[in-house]
Amino acid sequence: MKLSAVLLARVIFFVESVELNPRGAAYYPDIVKGLVERYGFKKFPEKFDEFDEQKGVMLLGGKYGDTVIDKVIINTWGLTFDTTSSTRNAEELLIDALTWGSEHLKLHYSPDMIKRKAYVSQILFYSDAPLLSVNPILNVVGKRISKEVSENLKLPYTFQPRGVSLGIDPEEQRIPVQVFSIERREGVAFSENKYWSAAPVSTDSHLALIEEFERSIQKQQFSSGR
């Protein structure tokens, strides 16, 4: 597996925003001003009606050290922090921002306030392993579909697996969660072996999962070939 790009490394801290300002000591415009000065956000709320946590108070295009901060969203129910480096970076920066905010912006933060957190990781990668040939039945079905469609359209078509995904039963869903998936990259020839993958785990875990998946597929191919 060769990583092509980290498209999204998002960390979400579930904390009610009012808990960060329990006594109303912090003034929202001052918080935004402080964050803009520290992280150099290029787009941030300026008008009063943009400070609406129900819709999400959004700061875009910041930077800290070598990490670009794509987006920060403050909602009533939590904080979202997006980078395109790794969720580890995103999490470290978010904790750093909260700690700094509690020291300089009259915010209230302690690590135990964050009871739940979530990750969204989206990556692009190349792999020479036949990642999507997880079951021989897919080839059988693909051949039958290809035959009929090619006859109907008088053009040669070959249907192949496009993706695999794992998700949760909607009946069990209490908090929405990113589906784990490995898909062919949209609009790219299958021969280029380029894939897009999403996972509800940290970037490091995501990369490890893809590598493990790749090894398992190669092992399966090797054992079926013998």
Partner 1 sequence: MATNFLIALATALGSATFILLVLRVVLKAVVPNAFKEMIAIPEKVVERQFTETVKTPDEVQMRPVIIDDATLLALSGRQIVDLLGNREQPLQVIYNISSFTPEISGMQTTSLLSSRWQGARSFIVVEGKIPKARETEEKKALSREEILSPPGQSTANFGSAVKKSVRAPNETLCGSAS
Least gap, CB of 188 to partner 1 (angstroms): 9
Measured CA to CA, the distance from residue 88 to residue 92 in angstroms comes to 6
Q: Which is nearer to partner 1, 105 or 203 (CB)?
A: 203
Measured CA to CA, the distance from residue 189 to residue 184 in angstroms comes to 9
Least gap, CB of 82 to partner 1 (angstroms): 9
Backbone torsions φ then ψ of 189, nearest 5 degrees = -60, 140
Q: Which is nearer to partner 1, 14 or 64 (CB)?
A: 14
Least gap, CB of 30 to partner 1 (angstroms): 23
Buried b / exposed e over 125-161, threshold 16 CB at 10 Å, is bebebebbbeeeeeeeeeeeeeeeeeeeeeeeeebeb
DSSP letters, 181-200, are EEEEPTTS-GGG-EEEEEES
Least gap, CB of 75 to partner 1 (angstroms): 7
How many other C-beta atoms can be found within 10 angstroms of the C-beta atom of residue 10?
A: 23
The CB-side HSE value for 194 (13 A sphere, CA atoms) comes to: 9
Q: Which is nearer to partner 1, 39 or 196 (CB)?
A: 196
Query: Can you tell me which residue has the tokens 């079926």?
Result: 224
Q: Which is nearer to partner 1, 45 or 101 (CB)?
A: 45
Least gap, CB of 189 to partner 1 (angstroms): 10
Least gap, CB of 86 to partner 1 (angstroms): 15
Least gap, CB of 221 to partner 1 (angstroms): 26
Q: Which is nearer to partner 1, 86 or 122 (CB)?
A: 122
Name the residues that contact partner 1, by CB under 8 A.
5, 7-8, 10, 12, 55-56, 58, 70, 73, 75, 77, 80, 84, 118, 120, 122, 124, 175-179, 183, 185-187, 196, 198, 200
Q: Which is nearer to partner 1, 140 or 179 (CB)?
A: 179
Q: Which is nearer to partner 1, 67 or 75 (CB)?
A: 75
Measured CA to CA, the distance from residue 45 to residue 59 in angstroms comes to 7
Q: The sheet that has 180-184: what strands, in order across it?
A: 57-64, 67-74, 78-83, 2-14, 116-126, 194-199, 180-184, 163-166
